[in-house]
Amino acid sequence: MNGQLQNSVVDYTYDGTINSKLVVRNLSRIHQHAVYTCQASNFHKKYVATNITIELYLRPLLVEISFNNQPMSADRKYEIECQAIGSRPPAKITWWMGNLEMHGHSQKVSEDGNASTSVLSITPTREDHGKALSCRATNELVRNGIRETAMKLNVFFIPTLQLDLGSNLNPEDIEEGDDVYFECKVHANPAAYKVVWKHNHQIIQHNQRAGVIVSSGDLALQGVTRHQAGNYTCTASNVEGDGDSNIVELKVMCKYIHVLNGFVTTLSDVRIRVRVVQYKLNKRVCSIYLGFH
């Protein structure tokens, strides 16, 4: 083999034919492309020889993904490369996300046939965050001819938010003087660095003295007033952008029933009769009625 003598068995037959048998045990990768030469001569020192080259079926030796687990932004296109080395014949490469086979990839084989390279085009979504993306190299001609590697997807996406009134509150039975709180649930990667609360599109500032308690995930209104009725939202921000929540309407019922009558005189000497009516029994929102005289 490759210039080295190997032990063989020689069988002499009655008709002068000589058979020589060489047994090579425990073939391994080092035997790939090994050249064995059978050489014969007679007493006249005439040599004849023939060669045979070993070609082995080999399972993939190494599979690698070239991406370094870098963060990806949702809904943007990326190309990820995978290389399988050491398979004979060259391995077939497939891509998988969980049990779902991915499509949209190419494959090429090196000139020496030792490496297969596949490039996958992928546009991840926020739902893909945390999933495993696998590269699988297969040689169907050998036992256990599958080798694969995987990477965990780290997908960055704009925050999504869900705003709710406190779970123990009845939105149809909130009166002046009640304590009200909101819960803002934020789902974001990376984590939001800022959460802003808004009332009728105006930013709410933390004011503990006025009973307005603002935190990243909660908003508390202590002793709520009629002026705090309206639409509430929360907005969260991360490196991908700003995400807005749904709108929650806060209705505030008047606590007492009373009627106030009066007149307001404007500079133009127009008299406006003001009638303020506050309801509680029929659960109507506080209202102001203006009459002109």
Copy the structure tokens of residue 70.
Answer: 């870098």
The two beta strands, 180-189 and 202-203, are unpaired
CA distance 137 to 112: 18
62-153 and 158-250, same CATH topology: yes
SS3 23: coil
Q: What is the average pLDDT value for the chain, to the nearest integer? A: 85
Backbone angles phi, psi at 222, to 5 degrees: -90, 125
Q: For the structural domain made of 158-250, what CATH number should be given?
A: 2.60.40.10
SS3 28: coil
Asked which of 3-7, 111-115, 165-169 is least confident by mean pLDDT, the reply is: 3-7
pLDDT in tens, 205-255: 999 999 999 998 999 999 999 999 999 999 999 999 999 999 999 999 987
Inform me whether the pLDDT recorded for 290 exceeds 60. no
Inform me whether the pLDDT recorded for 283 exceeds 80. no
Cα–Cα separations (whole angstroms), residue 202 to 165, 233, 234: 19, 10, 11
Q: How many DSSP H helices and E strands does the chain contain?
A: 0, 25
Copy the structure tokens of residue 5.
Answer: 């003598």
Kindly state the average pLDDT of the residues 8-15: 56
**CATH class given for the domain over 62-153:** mainly beta
SS3 19: strand
pLDDT in tens, 126-162: 999 999 999 999 999 999 999 999 999 999 999 999 9
CA distance 265 to 292: 11
Q: What is the pLDDT of residue 68?
A: 75
Q: List, in order, residues 6 or more apart from 184 with CB less than 8 Å away.
A: 161, 162, 163, 195, 197, 216, 217, 218, 219, 234, 236, 245
SS3 52: strand
- What is the pTM (predicted TM-score) of this model? 0.73
Copy the structure tokens of residue 99.
Answer: 């049990």
Domain boundaries, the chain: 9-53, 62-153, 158-250, 259-292
DSSP 88: B
pLDDT in tens, 35-55: 988 888 877 777 888 899 888
Inform me whether the pLDDT recorded for 170 exceeds 60. yes
